């Protein structure tokens, strides 16, 4: 083995991990690059340059953050998620770890021995991955006696995220595209829900700190005889913190109607950072629903929903429906509302929503909501197995509309 493996200018740095972690990192690197095994040419150690590709993906970043939050809060997985997790995890654990040249090197073995707990293996990890995990973990990183990186939560992080990615890959969808959408009802979605909770906690913590600083400042001035208000001019949140306008129209992680108020709920964690003005009573199809209609493909899902909209225009938008919609708008004009939406979501205009509801926007929204929820249940009906294909959207609409008292 070449000397000075702790020095040099490579972007890969040595990190202590466990043999179990190696198996999960092998799975993630294979998903990212197609090649599971990589050996560093300078050290003979196992190398994971493909983890840079994994960590560059926003969806996988959220899953890593979700895993960290779940571990720190001892969050319990729902039964169906636990079942999918254990099934995939057990398959990965049973795999063998092939040997590499460094396994027989005495110097490497001495360096392995100083690892913390089960972390008795050495691998070469990209610096950007180490920095991301160090920052996301939110805890002070440790160093071994040799100055190598040590992370308290690495075991469970790679365990959870590796299982989620491997489980989703079995659904025969491309990982970097719609795979997370399809896997969102299982482990991937649960981890993204944990990431949502983590973000909400962080925003609340920063808001409380801001209020506390304001109160302390006010108290100091008030003691000097000056009276100032302790009330904040505006609450700090995930949008104003980034210099974005408050999306009073809502967030649409679960889909929903633009009503001019904030809509919140658990679900997949795509960042809603596309801010635009959307008319009230527009229906927003969340990204997962779009992907579900497309059986894992967002582009096809958009086309499927477009087919429903064309059906509504051709068959449902009768003169009577148009008149009812016109009268409703005349009585209560539709205004455009600032909203936060994400790539992969789809807007269905108010008049189409009204057509789907027989002239009523409210009924149209309820039908679309029921269609979304039943589609999700349909997709997870086989548990961790390959989800069944989406039903024909027109027939699905007709059945749902019938439940709401409409004859189509």
Chosen domain end from 171, 193, 215: 193
Look at residue 344 and tell me if it is in a domain: yes
Both 180 and 258 in one domain: the answer is no
Both 178 and 293 in one domain: the answer is no
Both 255 and 173 in one domain: the answer is no
The domain tally of the chain equals: 2
Both 265 and 364 in one domain: the answer is yes
Both 37 and 182 in one domain: the answer is yes
Query: Does the pLDDT at position 98 exceed 60?
Result: yes
Chosen domain end from 165, 193, 221: 193
Look at residue 115 and tell me if it is in a domain: yes
Look at residue 225 and tell me if it is in a domain: no
Give me 249's structure tokens. Answer: 């129209």
The helix/strand/coil state of 283 is strand
Look at residue 130 and tell me if it is in a domain: yes
Q: Which residues are CB-neighbours of 255 under 8 A, at least 6 positions away?
A: 283, 284, 285, 286, 289, 368, 369, 372
Strand order in the sheet with 149-150: 46-47, 121-126, 12-17, 149-150, 142-143
Look at residue 51 and tell me if it is in a domain: yes
For residue 182, what pLDDT is reported?
38
pLDDT in tens, 224-272: 655 555 444 444 455 555 555 555 545 555 555 555 443 333 334 355 6
Both 149 and 35 in one domain: the answer is yes
**Nearest-10 crossing angle of helices 154-169, 19-33:** 40
For residue 273, what pLDDT is reported?
60
Chosen domain end from 193, 213, 231: 193
**Nearest-10 crossing angle of helices 58-73, 187-223:** 70
Look at residue 95 and tell me if it is in a domain: yes
Both 275 and 362 in one domain: the answer is yes
Q: Which residues are CB-neighbours of 115 under 8 A, at least 6 positions away?
A: 16, 121, 122, 144, 148, 150
Look at residue 211 and tell me if it is in a domain: no
Look at residue 366 and tell me if it is in a domain: yes
For residue 233, what pLDDT is reported?
45
Both 397 and 269 in one domain: the answer is yes
Both 259 and 393 in one domain: the answer is yes
What is the domain range of residue 120? Answer: 12-193
For residue 331, what pLDDT is reported?
83
Both 35 and 180 in one domain: the answer is yes
Both 287 and 186 in one domain: the answer is no
Greatest mean pLDDT among 6-20, 73-87, 141-155, 185-199: 73-87
Both 256 and 388 in one domain: the answer is yes
The per-residue pLDDT of the chain, averaged, comes to 76
- When pLDDT is averaged across residues 113-122 and rounded to a whole number, the result is 78
């Amino acid at each position: 083995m070449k000397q000075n493996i702790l020095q040099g200018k490579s972007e890969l740095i040595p990190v202590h991990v466990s043999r179990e972690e190696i198996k999960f990192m092998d799975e993630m690197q294979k998903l990212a690059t197609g090649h599971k095994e990589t050996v560093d040419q300078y050290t003979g150690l196992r190398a994971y340059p493909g983890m840079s590709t994994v960590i560059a993906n926003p969806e996988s970043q959220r899953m890593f953050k979700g895993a960290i939050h779940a571990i720190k809060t001892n969050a319990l997985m729902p039964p169906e998620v636990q079942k999918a997790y254990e099934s995939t995890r057990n398959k990965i654990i049973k795999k063998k770890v092939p040997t590499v040249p460094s396994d027989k090197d005495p110097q490497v073995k001495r360096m392995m021995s100083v690892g913390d707990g089960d972390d008795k293996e050495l691998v070469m990890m990209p610096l950007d991955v180490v920095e991301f995990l160090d920052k996301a973990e939110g805890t002070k990183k440790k160093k071994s006696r040799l100055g190598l990186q040590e992370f308290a939560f690495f075991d469970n992080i790679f365990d959870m995220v590796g299982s989620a990615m491997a489980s989703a890959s079995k659904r025969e969808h491309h990982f970097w595209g719609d795979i997370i959408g399809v896997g969102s009802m299982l482990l991937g979605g649960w981890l993204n829900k944990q990431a949502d909770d983590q973000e909400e906690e962080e925003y609340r913590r920063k808001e409380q700190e801001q209020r506390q600083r304001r109160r302390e400042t006010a108290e100091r001035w008030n003691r000097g005889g000056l009276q100032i208000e302790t009330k904040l001019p505006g609450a700090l949140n995930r949008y104003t913190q980034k210099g974005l306008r408050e999306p009073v129209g809502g967030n649409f992680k679960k889909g929903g109607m633009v009503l001019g108020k904030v809509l919140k709920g658990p679900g997949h964690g795509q960042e809603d950072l596309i801010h635009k003005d959307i008319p009230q009573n527009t229906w927003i199809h969340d990204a997962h629903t779009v992907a579900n209609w497309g059986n894992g493909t967002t582009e096809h899902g958009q086309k499927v929903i477009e087919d429903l909209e064309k059906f509504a225009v051709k068959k449902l938008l009768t003169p009577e429906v148009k008149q009812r919609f016109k009268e409703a708008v005349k009585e209560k004009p539709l205004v455009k509302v600032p909203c936060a939406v994400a790539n992969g979501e789809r807007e269905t205009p108010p008049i189409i929503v009204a057509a789907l509801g027989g002239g009523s926007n409210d009924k149209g929204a309820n039908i679309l909501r029921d269609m979304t929820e039943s589609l999700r249940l349909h997709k997870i009906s086989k548990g961790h197995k390959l989800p069944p294909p989406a039903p024909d959207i027109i027939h699905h609409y007709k059945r749902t509309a019938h439940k709401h008292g409409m004859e189509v």
